[in-house]
Structure 1
Amino acid sequence: MEEFDTIVGSVTPREKSPTVDIYQNTVGLACPACDEPFDDLIVCKELTRLNLSERMDICPTTHEGSTVIFTHKEE
């Protein structure tokens, strides 16, 4: 997904670890899966468990062997 590098270069890094990277969409980019603005981009580099504290819709995909999740918080 060539578009992935553009998205990662435009969002704000919030957390980086060996298993997961989390970015916040502070510029209102559209989700490549549903074309709606997303809240966070989560890149799971290894099998991991996510503890999400809010109800949200997600758009999952993959990029270079990693699971990529675009979150959409419910209002």
Structure 2
Amino acid sequence: MDIDTEELITSLTPRKENSALKSYQNTVSVACPACGMPFDDLVVCKQNPTSLNLSKQLNFCVGVEDGQAFIFTHKQ
């Protein structure tokens, strides 16, 4: 199943952006395209490779479009 990232991102609230990644908060309970449950944040990796430093334990789902990783986080 393909992810319609343009439509998905228009529903999310932008949070952070730097040269390696861009993050969005899901403030309207959009369903995760991988598992169908609402996700908390979307992290779009802009560089390959990219390192993520997580400050809390999360479950996550991952999708790839045009060589970019899309990480959907779910707080435990």
Same fold (TM over 0.5): yes
Higher helix share: 1
1:2 deviates by 5.3
Consecutive unaligned residues of structure 1, counting only runs of 5 or more, are none
Query: TM-score of the superposition, structure 2-length normalised?
Result: 0.91
The residue number in structure 2 matching 1:73 is 75
1:40 equivalenced with 2:55 (yes/no): no
The percent of aligned pairs where both chains have the same amino acid is 46
Cα RMSD over matched residues?
A: 1.0
Equivalent pairs, count: 74
CA distance in 1, matches of 2:6, 2:73: 18
1:43 deviates by 0.3
CA distance in 2, matches of 1:63, 1:18: 18
Following superposition, which runs of at least 4 residues in structure 1 exceed 4 angstroms of deviation? none
Q: Deviations over 1:10-59 (max 9, x none)?
A: 10000011110000000100000000000000000112110111111100
The residue number in structure 2 matching 1:62 is 64
Amino acid at match of 1:62: V
Amino acid at match of 2:74: H
1:22 equivalenced with 2:3 (yes/no): no
